[in-house]
Amino acid sequence: MQAFLQAVFNGQHINEKNFFLMAGPCVVEGEEVVMKTAEQVVKICEKLKIPYIFKSSYRKANRTRLDSFTGIGDENALKLLAKVKATFNVPVVTDIHAANEAAMAAEYVDVLQIPAFLCRQTDILIAAAETGKIVNVKKGQFLSPEAMQFAVDKLRQSGNEQIILTDRGATFGYHDLIVDYRAIPTMQQMDVPVVLDCTHSLQQPNQTSGVTGGNPAMIETIARAGIAVGADGLFIETHPNPAQAKSDGANMLRLDLLEGLLDKLVRLKEVVNTL
């Protein structure tokens, strides 16, 4: 595990040979969901000694329909993320959507995430890098893994070496994504930790209803394969009741299923480490 990740997990009782986890509800939709999810995932990760970063978007900017839920207000949401950090002593990651959001979000969180559709936006990458925070860049569904070298270069040339890359599938036709597991070792050659997003990889976008679909029954399959090929971390969106979630409910993992899944993945990682 790279030094900057070891530093951000300082204070957690972890196994440094384990994968790390980014997990939480898709968007900050209220205090009850955020705090309940964080509390439960923290307990699971402490039990399994998984390094943990709480994830939730303070606002959703990429919505198909104008009437889709986008958030509870930037300041309110960011303050809730800061409350998670203070209450549970875990780092927090959230998305930014424009260059002028970087400094604002950096006041509250430890990791700034660049959404996949924005991974080539130079001004956003520079602004995120200049905050000095860890920057997690999601690989665009439209890019080869090799092309992510340019995003890495932009961050490094802007003075930031604290970089994570996350794969979330590649466009396959109009309504589906596929995961090319070659992307994980390919991007690891850029000397960055690589995460596999096990939930967004199963999205089914561009539905005629204007609401993105998903296939959460395949989350375990995606996650197992990611660990088998050596992913450094996993990204899993989870919610106490995905059917009532205000964003991406169709592909989130139900919170009460998370521990069983992670227990299997930890045991699989132990086997992978012996090979």
Count of CA atoms in the C-beta half-sphere (13 A) of 210 = 7
3-state secondary structure of 155: helix
Tell me which residue of 129, 41, 139, 154 sits closest to 91, measured CA to CA: 41
We report the CATH number of the domain holding residue 258 as: 3.20.20.70
Residue 213 phi/psi, 5-degree rounding, is -90, -175
Q: Are 51 and 262 in contact (CB under 8 A)?
A: no
pLDDT of residue 66: 59
pLDDT of residue 79: 97
Token reading at 41: 């995932």
Mean pLDDT, contiguous 10-residue spans, the chain (275 residues): 91 92 95 97 98 94 64 92 97 97 97 97 98 98 97 98 96 86 98 96 61 73 97 97 81 94 98 95
Number of other residues whose CB lies within 10 A of the CB of residue 49: 15
Domain containing residue 211: 3-274
Residue 178 phi/psi, 5-degree rounding, is -130, 155
Dihedral sign for Cα 28, 29, 33, 35, please: positive
Q: How many domains is the chain built from?
A: 1
Report the distance separating Cα 121 and Cα 139, nearest Å: 12
